[in-house]
Amino acid sequence: MARIDLVDLAHSYGGNDAPQDSFALKPVTMTWRQGGAYALLGPSGCGKTTLLNVISGIITPSRGKILFDGKDITPLSTQKRNIAQVFQFPVIYDTMTVGQNLAFPLKNRGVPKAEIDKRVAEIGRLLDLESYLNRKATRLTADAKQKISLGRGLVRSDVAAVLFDEPLTVIDPELKWQLRSKLKALHRELDLTMIYVTHDQTEALTFADTVVVMHDGRVVQSGTPAELFDKPAHTFVGYFIGSPGMNILPAEVRGREARIDGHVIALNRAYDNLPAGAKIEIGVRPEFVEAVAPAPGLLTARIERIDDLGRIRFARARLGDAKLAARAPSGFTSSDGMAGLKFDPSHVHVYADSLLVEGAV
Amino acid sequence: MDKTVNQKAWFLVLPVFLVVAFSAVLPLMTVVNYSMQDTFGNNQFFWNGVGWFKELLDPSTDLGGRFLASLGRNLFFSMVILAIEVPLGIVVALSMPRQGWTVAACLVILALPLLIPWNVVGTIWQIFGRPDIGLLGYVLNAMGIDYNYVSNEIDAWVTVIVMDVWHWTSLVALLCYAGLKSIPEAYYQAAQIDGASRWAVFKAIQLPKMNRVLLIAVLLRFMDSFMIYTEPFVVTGGGPGNSTTFVSIELVKIALGQFDLGKAAALSLVYNLIILIVCWIFYTVMTNAGVERKVQAESEPVAEPKPSAALKPVPALKPKEGVA
């Protein structure tokens, strides 16, 4: 149980002298509070596994420090840190029974037998593994094996955090939901800090109360799912989270107006101090753009197709070179393939060089 | 799919059949024929039925005594070299580097003894151990250790065993190394997380993952050492006395030294039979281990919608070996 602080932490597989651009993990300073359920979200290769392995000690960072409750544990080996980690593929000790597998982390740390039995029984109960405790672990299905891996991660009561590295990759979609809800329930029951790495936004948003989005070795935003959805701090977050992702359109912004192709889009806030020379874009979620019949004063786009997602329809449109998606209200049809776009001003954000700019009220 | 039936295809098999018949079946039958007869040279043969076989298994006779004694020596020799080479091979494999140019260097150095012909190995050690001019023999004697493999039985045994260990430990080590290399990195990381000691990692991960290659190593080393002939023959010639006379050496003595074709034939048949039986036992054990492995190698998620069914053991023989 601990608060985990990362202080100016960075890692390069090429060594500390490699150019900063090549760092797998660019300098990051952040805090993981005790008992939080975190998701580390990002596309493959964005450095999330590196960050996880740095926290667990499998990798020693090139720079910076990791503090557990204010104590610097950077030089400590994995064995000496109070960390549990569950990997992408199930790791099972072939010769042991399910129970022995669960007991292994405790046995290695010299926990008394009675205590081990108690913990194993408890974790077995929580993961529905009770009736299998005396069976050989090798003859089980992949998801049962992964449950054992999860169990080994959860069995120690003294860990500072449990790290999950895309633990449900090998599991069927159906079972994924169940195991994820199970994890969520376990989180509430055991009061553990959990960090869950995934590239699947649904997984991240359903599991975590704080989602940390990584992109190209950098932590670009960390916040609640609602924050990420409503106010992406980086165009990448807007694009990566939500389906379809946020529309990002190059625009000229002056005061309370954004101009695209000479059309004016009203903004809720005033943007007078935009950095000069920066690439200015506006970002708006498809949910807050409505496709209507073309009318004067409305930005007009060419409709390419309409995706019917059942409860909602999205028009996929093209605006010059840019592609965008807009909500298509029921009854909307386009006779000539053109549609007018109505923006909801309170949900249009302005980005300078991909970073969110806060406007003045 | 319809199979094309073409009986002419048998003609393609015929050459192989003939070659096998002449190279294996006929010689073997000749040996069986000899084993039932006695000869006094001059190409005169007398029927002896199963007489030689009875004698062979009866320690009170000359033939039986020699056979059983050499068989005992052979088994003892195999046990000793297995007991040394298998653990030693594992230790060598464990201490080998995993990456970098040193890997290639280690592999080449390890492979060297395996590439030397048997009789050359024998000759090397024969000279190496000589007290007068051999480096090993001379140094040992200079250090005050009375070492002479020509006159002392224990010295002869030690020499033969050390020679075999030198020659063949590499094979075990290379097999184990291959087994070790196939263990995914995640296992070691998980073990680190679980706080496993070096010994616990070995016991829980490395040894179980190596058990298949170890079985192969044990099989190969047992078979080879049980049939050993050239090296001890070159070094000690089976002596001093009969102390390092193994079954194959005894066989050659009887067949070519005494020209007792009947006895030699009977002996070689029994010898052959022992090897076949041991082979079969090993094969059975290994295939069973293989089946178990296939069953446990289930790594593909099995579509089982109901949670109650999620823990069902995997039905046997799923294809595809995976990370698990």
The token pair that represents A68 in the structure block:
């557990």
**What residue spans define the domains of chain B?**
23-323
Residue B309 pLDDT class (50, 70, 90 cuts): very low
Write the pLDDT tens digit of every residue in B135-190.
Answer: 888 898 888 888 888 888 888 899 999 999 999 999 999 999 999 998 888 888 88
Write the pLDDT tens digit of every residue in A133-191.
Answer: 888 888 788 888 888 888 888 888 888 888 888 888 877 788 788 888 888 888 888 78
Contact in structure between A200 and A43 (CB atoms under 8 Å): no
- A34-53 residues touching B, CB cutoff 8 A: 53
| Chain A nearest-CA residue for B316 | A139
The gap from C-alpha B270 to its chain's centroid, in whole angstroms, comes to 18
So what's the pLDDT on residue B306? Answer: 38
**Range in A51-60, A220-229, B38-47, B82-91 with the lowest mean pLDDT:** B38-47
Say yes or no for a CB contact (<8 Å) between B314 and A141.
yes
Which residues of B fall within a CB distance of 8 Å from A138?
A: 292, 295-296
Average pLDDT along chain A: 85
**A-B C-beta contacts closer than 8 Å:** 116
pLDDT higher than threshold 90 for residue A122: no
Write the pLDDT tens digit of every residue in A222-276.
Answer: 888 888 888 888 988 888 888 888 988 888 888 888 888 778 888 888 888 788 7
Q: Which amino acid is residue A146, in one-letter code?
A: Q
Contact in structure between A180 and A125 (CB atoms under 8 Å): no
To the nearest whole angstrom, how far is the Cα of A211 from the nearest Cα of chain B?
A: 24
B162 HSE (CA, 13 A, CB side): 14
What is the C-alpha separation between A221 and A226, in angstroms, rounded?
12
Which ipTM value was assigned to this complex? 0.75
What is the C-alpha separation between A265 and A251, in angstroms, rounded?
10
So what's the pLDDT on residue A5? Answer: 86
Only one residue has tokens 């998606």, namely: A325
Which residues of B fall within a CB distance of 8 Å from A170?
A: 299-301
B317 HSE (CA, 13 A, CB side): 2
Give all strands (DSSP E) within chain B, no chain letters. 37-39, 45-47
Q: What is the average pLDDT across B120-144?
A: 88
Write the pLDDT tens digit of every residue in B244-265.
Answer: 888 888 888 888 888 788 888 8
Best of A88, A94, A172 to mutate (most B CBs within 10 Å, chain B): A94
pLDDT higher than threshold 80 for residue B270: yes
* Helix %, strand %, coil % of chain B (to 5): 70, 0, 30
So what's the pLDDT on residue B320? Answer: 38
So what's the pLDDT on residue B290? Answer: 61
From B194, B300, B305, residue closest to A105, measured CB to CB: B194
From B192, B204, B310, residue closest to A78, measured CB to CB: B192
So what's the pLDDT on residue A189? Answer: 81
- At residue B185's C-alpha, the angle toward residues B179 and B189, to 5°, is 125
pLDDT higher than threshold 60 for residue B21: yes
What is the C-alpha separation between A54 and A49, in angstroms, rounded?
8
So what's the pLDDT on residue B30? Answer: 87
Residue B304 pLDDT class (50, 70, 90 cuts): very low
So what's the pLDDT on residue B293? Answer: 55
So what's the pLDDT on residue B108? Answer: 92
So what's the pLDDT on residue B322? Answer: 37
Query: Does B23-323 carry CATH code 1.10.3720.10?
Result: yes
- Decide the pairing of beta strands A313-319 and A299-308: antiparallel
Q: Which helix (DSSP H) or strand (DSSP E) does residue B274 occupy?
A: helix B261-296
So what's the pLDDT on residue B311? Answer: 41
Residues 6+ apart with CB under 8 A from B125: B159, B162, B163, B166, B231, B235
Residue B308 pLDDT class (50, 70, 90 cuts): very low
Alpha helix (H) residue ranges in chain A: 48-56, 98-108, 113-126, 142-154, 173-190, 201-207, 225-230, 235-240
Q: Which helix (DSSP H) or strand (DSSP E) does residue A343 occupy?
A: strand A338-343
Contact in structure between A198 and A27 (CB atoms under 8 Å): no
Which residues of A fall within a CB distance of 8 Å from B203?
A: 95
Write the pLDDT tens digit of every residue in A290-348.
Answer: 888 888 778 888 888 888 888 888 888 888 788 888 888 887 777 778 888 888 888 88
- At residue B23's C-alpha, the angle toward residues B17 and B26, to 5°, is 90
Residues 6+ apart with CB under 8 A from B104: none
Percent of chain B clearing pLDDT 70 (strictly above)? 88
Of A243, A245, A225, nearest to A235 by C-alpha is: A245
To the nearest whole angstrom, how far is the Cα of A101 from the nearest Cα of chain B?
A: 10
pLDDT higher than threshold 90 for residue A109: no
Q: What is the average pLDDT across B22-42?
A: 85
Q: Does B4 touch chain A (CB under 8 A)?
A: no
pLDDT higher than threshold 50 for residue B301: no
Say yes or no for a CB contact (<8 Å) between B295 and A139.
yes
Q: Does A328 touch chain B (CB under 8 A)?
A: no
Q: What is the average pLDDT across B238-245?
A: 82
Q: What is the average pLDDT across A99-110?
A: 88
So what's the pLDDT on residue B1? Answer: 57
So what's the pLDDT on residue B152? Answer: 85
Which residues of A fall within a CB distance of 8 Å from B291?
A: none
Give all strands (DSSP E) within A4-114, no chain letters. 4-11, 25-32, 37-41, 63-68, 71-72, 83-86
The token pair that represents A179 in the structure block:
């195991």
